[in-house]
Amino acid sequence: MHPLSHLHLSNIIAPSLELLAEAQIVIAMRLAGMVGLWPVERDETQRMIAEKGPALMGAASDAQTAALTGMRIDEVLLAAIIPLTGAARDNRLRLSARRA
């Protein structure tokens, strides 16, 4: 048996890449909004800062719960990645709807 076979790390590759893509798109739209190239609400910068803490604490809490219930490491990582991806996707959809 391979020493890392129980980790199932291949299960987190696609979700990690999805989070990466969603986050980068949101960052690009927000930066473009800061310099006037993309329409954003006036409070977008404040919103960007205010949402970080709750999103990261929620993801950490979900991961901790998964770890304490005995889930595999890939399941623990997914417990953190999936809510962050959802939040990034919601931001992308909200920001892109302003452009349409």
Q: Is residue 5 part of a domain?
A: no
Count of residues making up the chain: 100
What pLDDT does 98 receive? 77
Residue 91 lies in a domain: yes
Asked if the structure places residue 6 within a domain, the reply is: no
Q: Into how many domains does the chain fold? A: 1
Predicted TM-score of the model (pTM): 0.86
* 41-57 pLDDT tens trace: 999 999 999 999 999 99
In the chain, the N- to C-terminal Cα span, in Å, equals 53
Q: Collapsing DSSP states into helix, strand and coil, what is residue 54?
A: helix
Domain annotation covers residue 89 = yes
Residue indicated by tokens 């960052």: 27
Token digits for 53? Answer: 């803490």
pLDDT band at 6 (very low <50, low <70, confident <90, very high): low
pLDDT tens for 12-24 read 999 999 999 999 9
Nearest to 50 by CA among 94, 83, 87, 18: 87
- Could you list the residue range(s) of the whole structural domain that residue 35 is in? 15-99
Residue 1 lies in a domain: no
For residue 8, tell me if it sits in a domain. no
Q: Is the pLDDT of residue 1 over 50?
A: no
